[in-house]
A and B are shown apart, each in its own frame.
Chain A
Amino acid sequence: MTNKPHPLSMASLPGLDKRYRAEKRFKFAGVLAVFSSLAFLGFLIVAIALKSAGAFQTYEVEILVKKEKYLELRDQPFIFLQSTMRYNLSGVVNGQAMREAVNMVVDGAEIDLLDHIENLQQNTRADGLGSYSVWVTLSNRVVSALSKQDIGTNLTARQQAWVEGWVANNKVRQRFNVGFLTNGDSRDPERAGIGSALVGSAFMLLVCMVLSFGVGILAAIYLEEFAPKNKYTVFLEVNINNLATVPSIIFGLLGLSVFLNLFGLPRSAAIVGGMVLALMTMPTIIIASRLALQSVPLSIREAAFSVGASPLQTVFHHVLPLALPGMLTGTILGMARAIGETAPLLMIGMLAFIVEAPDNIFDPASVLPVQIFLWAESPERGFEEKTAAAIIVLLAFLLVMNLTAIILRKKLEKKW
């Protein structure tokens, strides 16, 4: 004990160091709680991002097609594919080898080949033989063997030799998978994309925004600026606050029994989904809009009244423009909730297998979160990375929407 504390200092109190240690532990528990919550978030995003990596890129192989074979066999696509594979790969001697050869490229590659050749008639190779060179997507099995760098796992010896030959001759190329963002759903993981789901989500969000923003701000204006303080308006307020906490699946049940069964609107259409989501997000928008109206100072209203504006003129010409940024922020945040909502959409039949993008809001549509759900439930392994990639796209949209809301709030909102 070289540094004995002064008898009158705090440090000489009995048990004080123990209490300080308890203090440190308590604070550490708080830091730990915050840190582990955030760590979980980071873990979630990183884990899903890692799983998604493969879905954003695709591998293609250069296939040579003899012109005369194309002209001869173009009405029999599968035989055409077989002959092409025989021409491109050595050792296709029996049925088994042919099956393995065809399995090297994606299902339906014959249609791709014919499509490419029809669109690129002039693109013949300059080797004088008059053959076409076409890049064809590789099958999932070959891709996973290539991307994991160990060729042996899922391929037969013959297939391995072919892959090695292709790689050695630079016939394989890696590309960003544009199809993932533009294609519709498919039974083949290699071809499945989120294109039509994105269109469906856009339609649904449009319906949802028009309805919930319109009704939401009007309701907020009434409650905040005009409603007398009586038991009806109190009931209305309690009602709205409670609606905000009703489980989303209940809104789905409402949509099913009212919009589908009573009004007879089409199943799995964007309009029904949008209406259900609008009912769901409306309370949030009303609450946010009321806060925005409350933050406009009373003096603005008094000034408007004093120059003879009617109550409605006061609100619509003076208060509303000032409150609008806050309302918009609330709406964007509400939309960010709506875009990821899945459960109520399952109730109104939005989980059908839909390939084509919808043309209008009455067409059957598939939306992004439901597409994620469907792929996640699919037993085929190839869909796992597609699911993860679709989630990354969804999270990116959410990030953009939330950032927009934050920037909007910073830029436009006035501090009074």
Chain B
Amino acid sequence: MKENYRFLVEKSQEATVPWHEKHFKFLLVFPSVMLFILLTAYPLVHLIYTSLHRFDFIGGQFHFIGLANFSRLLGDERFINSIINTLRFMLMATFSQVLLGLGLAVLFNSMKFRGKMLLLPILILPMMIPSMVVNGIWRIMYSYEFGIINRILEGIGFTRIGWLWDPAIAMESVVLVDIWQFTPFVFLVLFAGLQAIPEEVYEAAKLDGSTKLQTFKNMTLPLLKHHLLLVILLRTVDTSNLFDKVLVLTGGGPGFTTETISLFIYRQSFVFLNLGYGAAASIVMLLLVILAGGSLFAILILGARVIKSTFGRQSYA
């Protein structure tokens, strides 16, 4: 496939072509490269610099302190706690969203009724509206005294629940909001993937007498592999950034039960103005995310291969 891919010719030097034609390909990538350097590469250098310093906000001076910020981080229980919280959220949210999204996508794909496609924009509404609006709606609905959820619970004879107060369920409440907001995204990607599977595959499976479950395992899942991988990766990456939800729903509380790494960094850098300490935490987060993303990618790809070979053997039986 690589060999078949063709490129446009570039003229040799002898030709009398204008400067901008000769260096056209570089001119085209120039803006993006500059933006990336200015907005990502250079700031990362800055980040490393800052992490090795203590910021004195009275004098506005940076003092070099070596790796002190990092060693302090390792002993900071609040930081460790924020990592654990973030991991808990990532796991719960990604797992439930992928499961629910996959179920909904398969269900929706198998249904045939008029006006089905008109339902699609409605089903994906939550992912379209601003995150902060979503947080607002749920904050109102979760309200202990006036929230609709507790009102309904009371109405059917239960006691009120401190959705965002109770340390035992505060994180789960935040997860629920994320499920409401982003399951539609998972659904949309997987549904698009399902739509790309030709009908003949299912017809052939039917002719071979495979059951619905077999068809799902042997046909749908393997063919949906790329979309599933994509969605799991994107959700894992995005849930690792959890910030605005905990900021306005729980404020990281009760106690520190919902404080995430992002929130920790935000507070260190912009509330307590420990810029150096925040930068060190940022670097740790960066490494964790890249490590987690990379290993997840590896695990998923290897896992998909194992699944494929297992199911492949089954289909011979």
A binds B: no
B: residues with CB less than 8 A from A are none
